[in-house]
Structure 1
Amino acid sequence: MQSPACPGSSRPLLRAPLLLLALLLALLLVPSEALRARKLRGGRHREGRGEAAESFPLDFSAVEEGNVDSFMTQVKNLAQSLYPCSAQKLARDMKLHFLENASVTCNDGTPSGYYMKESKGSRRWLVFLEGGWYCFNKDTCDSRYDTMRRLMSSSKWPETKTGTGILSPQPEENPHWWNANMVFIPYCSSDVWSGASARTNKSSYAFMGSLIIKEVVKELLTKGLDTAKVLLLAGSSAGGTGVLLNVDRVAEQLEALGHRGVQVRGLADSGWFLDNQQYRWTDCTDTMSCAPTEAIKRGIKYWNGVVPGRCGLLHKGEEWSCFFGYKVYPTLHSPVFVVQWLFDEAQLTVDN
């Protein structure tokens, strides 16, 4: 008999650990029930003394008659009744952790952090960088704060987040990584994960994307990453570009801390932007219409952006070019998988 599923889920509701719990409960109840049956057969039950109502609707006569299959069906039904959908959802959700180092913040000075779901026994880790464009001067950042504050502040981050796609805990949706340790880092630095600039009295915003990643990795080492076999740093859009900018730095950080056995890999999804000329020139007053080349040239100074060391040396004086995949990729030592649509909507937008 297949157990019912929660709304919006393609996986059965019943879980093996819960079934084992129900079995243990049943085994504990069997002796007392059998004893009660023997007392009844022996005639020692006193008339007038009422029997307590059975707390769990299990028919133990099936066990006495050797019909274990029938009894197991009852156990499954009991397990399902004890496992509501809300509990199932909670077990799958990633939980919010704010960084212990409070000096590393989002744009507006609120604490940065990450969502995490542990997978006991797994030595595989998936760390995902969220995307969401960027801003490159005070005007564009002020506009972004008014219209997309979630990408600049942690003030309204929920306590939990449900993973989807490569972060999904469902093997049907995510056959290769469903049982890995999942970490999702929300994007609140607006700097393509490159900044290293704190908020001061003279500056309205902090840009600490590269430092956020460094601090998250540092904290994860106390949560099991120190024994990891594989760390996949993944990201989409600006997060994908963030992978290209940070994957070697993460590998070097782990190596410097003595964790050379961790294999660091990158997955850049939709983050391979081109510095081609726009079809129609604009005056670069907003993020969407400004050419990537001009926006990054302005942004890298505004963010105090950090690029991979080898790429920076190769393009000295034009470090901004390291934000573009075909320039930075040849300088990387860590293996990186690149996923990019031939007709990328974001690229077409900035190309005008």
Structure 2
Amino acid sequence: MKFLAFFICVIFNFAQLFHQRNVFAKEYSKKWYKLQDLIDKITDCDKECGGVQPPLLKLRQTSRPRAICNDGSRASYYFHDARSKSWVIFIQPGWLCYDSITCLVRNNLSKGLTTSWNIAQNKTGDGVLRTEPMNSLFWKYNMVDINYCSSDLFLGNTSGRSEVGVYFRGKEILFSVLEDLITFHRMGHDHTIYFIGSSAGGIGILVNLYEIMDFFSQNGFGDVKTRVILDDAWFTEVFAFDFPCYEESPPMPCITNDTLTEAFEKWNVDVQSTCGESYEKNASWNCIFGTNALRGLNKVPLFVIQNQYDNYQMIMSKLLPFPSTEDSSGILKRMSAILDIGKKVRTEISSLDQETSGFFSMGCLNHHTLKGDYVNFPVTIKSQTLTSTLKCWLQNSNADRSVNEILTGVNDQQKRSMTDLNSRSENDVCEYRREDDCSYAQCNSQCMPLTNPSTEERSPWTPEAFINLEPQIASELGIFSTDRSAMERLSLLARKRNL
């Protein structure tokens, strides 16, 4: 009996020591972040001292020990404190890997996507992260740029190294950053958050969206206003094509139902949402598709920037590139499938909730928009620019939703009705839902060109695979040029043959 009492006493004391260690570590972390902020104020004198250098984004390490990259290095993010009540949280793009081959290729060709070693301590923000007036919509906001080094669409949560020898901890990284923003960077209950995700990062937002809202609600931040902007992250469910995978040119892995099932298993993905509950765990990869991901969250304030013929969607669907051995019949079959995808994307996006959702949907074959100079983005839709369309949506008070309102689907605040919006004078009305309704890839004359005008090089992973046809096939199809009319001609032939 005395031994048992002694043993319990020892356990109790160890528990006390462990608790004190955690309290000390947290307090130490807070003081360390305060010291970093002080250093930033001293070094960032561009506003106060009249310098021309815009404020830099500063590197921060995540506080959770489990938030690590593929190689085990501590995950990181960049942060700029503008002393604002509005936040831009940008989740980076970068595709994925899931097995020993794809992860080895990724590590060799794109090592920055698997590690945080030797990462720059400061960086200049670009696109929506630019900290100067050229970024007219967001430049005064606090900026957070979450580095993508987990290769798992920010969904993985493996306990240790996976069987392929790397860690997949993307979800842990995402939520560690959100926790740090509350604990160390003074995110407030009356603040507004703009989650912006490009490609893989956008998919990560969509699939984790319910859990993100729940995280804020559980931590007492249910009144925080939240909006989501997706940049070429709206993928549609199309795997019915019987084309073989194109394996001649890594690093992009061939994606099929089987490979997604394998990836989600190796990443140890657990989708906690209405969508996740709709599928067996080995089929939860269906939640990467926009329409599926938003089940139960149809009132989330969402703006979708999307190329209707997104080239990553085409590669994922095994429609691009055109193999060099493809005959004219095969090319027309592929083109017909590509046209079907464009139509499906238009239908899905235009069906989003009219009150809370906006979009800028281009009839182009491209990928990524917000990473560059989006303000001067050259493509317009019905004479309206991306910036003016996005600005209109940002100013639409009907799209304002708190975390709790998104979770419950109930809007407690008094809003102007859509009837009121539509009854305003013509000078006051702006449009935040714009799409190209032409029916073939590159139908907008302002789409980026399909060939590199300086090198004329052909790459199997770029759009020129559409029209750089072998002379014999081009002659058979009646296509003799590489301009936009060639794409139109090819599309018309595909529809005519109804393949």
> TM-score if structure 1 supplies the norm length?
0.71
What are the Cα deviations for residues 267-306 of structure 1, in whole angstroms up to 9, with x where unaligned? 1111112331346212879663513534322210010123
Q: What is the deviation of 1:315?
A: 2.3
Residues 296, 320 of structure 1: 8 Å contact kept? yes
- Cα–Cα, structure 1 residues 16 and 214, in superposed 2: closer, same or farther, change >3 Å? closer
Kept after mapping to 1: 8 A contact 2:59/2:122: yes
Task: Determine the C-alpha separation between the residues in 2 that align with 1:221 and 1:102.
Answer: 17
Asked if structure 2 preserves the Cα contact closer than 8 Å seen for 1:284 and 1:291, the reply is: no
Q: Is the 8 A contact 2:106 2:251 kept in 1?
A: no
Aligned to 1:113, which of 71, 76, 96?
76
What is the Cα deviation at residue 336 of structure 1?
2.2
What corresponds to 1:5 in structure 2?
A: none
**Structure 1 range deviating more: 216-225 or 270-279:** 270-279
Q: 1:255 & 1:175 partners in 2: Cα distance? A: 31
Q: How many angstroms apart in 2 are the aligned matches of 1:269 and 1:339?
A: 5
In structure 1, how many angstroms separate the alpha carbons of the residues matched to 2:113 and 2:46?
36
Q: Distance in 1 between matches of 2:99 and 2:258?
A: 12
Residue from 323, 326, 339 that aligns with 2:305? 339
- 2:109 is matched with 147
CA-to-aligned-CA distance 1:38-88 (integer Å, 9 cap, x gap): xxxxxxxxxxxxxxxxxxxxxxxxxxxxxxxxxxxxxxxxxx6xx4x4xx2
Corresponding residue for residue 191 of structure 1 = 152
Q: CA deviation at 1:15?
A: 6.9
Paired residue type of 1:180: Y
Matched ranges for 1:253-332 at <5 A = 253-277=215-239, 278=241, 280-282=243-245, 288=252, 290-317=254-281, 318-332=283-297
**Amino acid aligned to 1:324:** F
Q: Which of 302, 307, 314 is 1:348 aligned to? A: 314
**What is the CA RMSD across the aligned residues, in angstroms?**
2.3
Distance 1:230 1:248 in 2: 17
Shift of 1:199: 3.1
Aligned to 1:100: 63
C-alpha distance 145-300 of structure 1, shift in aligned 2 (>3 A): same
Identity of aligned residues (%): 29
Residue in structure 1 matched with residue 15 of structure 2 by the alignment: none
1:226 aligned counterpart, secondary structure: coil
Partners in 1 of 2:174 and 2:167 — Cα distance?
15
1:292, 1:171 → 2: CA distance?
43
Tell me the CA shift for residue 16 of structure 1. Answer: 6.5
Gaps of 5+ in 1: 1-13, 19-79
**Greater RCO (CA < 8 Å, at least 6 residues apart):** 1
CA contact (8 A) 1:191 1:305 kept: no
CA distance in 2 between counterparts of 1:201 and 1:136 reads 10
Secondary structure of the residue aligned to 1:116 is: strand
SS at the partner of 2:59? strand
Whichever residue aligns with residue 348 of structure 1, its letter is M
Contact 2:132 2:139 in 1 (8 A): yes
* Structure 1 position 211 matched with structure 2 position 172: yes
Is 1:163 equivalent to 2:129 in the alignment? Answer: no
Which of the pair has more CA radius of gyration? 1
Aligned to 1:4: none
**Does the CA contact (< 8 Å) of 2:93 and 2:198 recur in 1?**
yes
CA shift for structure 1 position 320: 1.1
Q: 1:250 to 1:159 in 2, by over 3 A?
A: same
- Residue 316 and residue 160 in structure 1: after superposition, are their counterparts in 2 closer, same or farther (change >3 A)? same
Question: Which of 191, 197, 204 is 1:235 aligned to?
Answer: 197
Which deviates the most, 218-227 or 284-293? 284-293
- Secondary structure at the aligned position of 1:273 is classed as coil
**Other structure's SS at 1:247 match:** helix
- CA offsets 1:114-134 (integer angstroms, 9 cap, x no match): 1000011x1111111101110
Q: Is the 8 A contact 1:275 1:293 kept in 2?
A: no
Name the SS of the counterpart of 1:276 in structure 2.
coil
Distance 1:139 1:246 in 2: 27
Q: Deviations over 1:103-160 (max 9, x none)?
A: 210000000011000011x111111110111012122111211111100000121101
- Deviation for aligned residue 1:205: 0.8
In 2, Cα distance between equivalents of 1:275 and 1:290: 15
Structure 1 distance, partners of 2:147, 2:244, is 33
Partner of 2:213: helix, strand, or coil? helix
Cα 1:249–1:137, aligned 2, differ >3 Å: closer, same or farther?
same
2-structure distance, mates of 1:243, 1:314: 19
Would you say 1:220 and 2:197 are equivalent positions? Answer: no
Output the CA distance in 1 between the equivalents of 2:71 and 2:284: 26
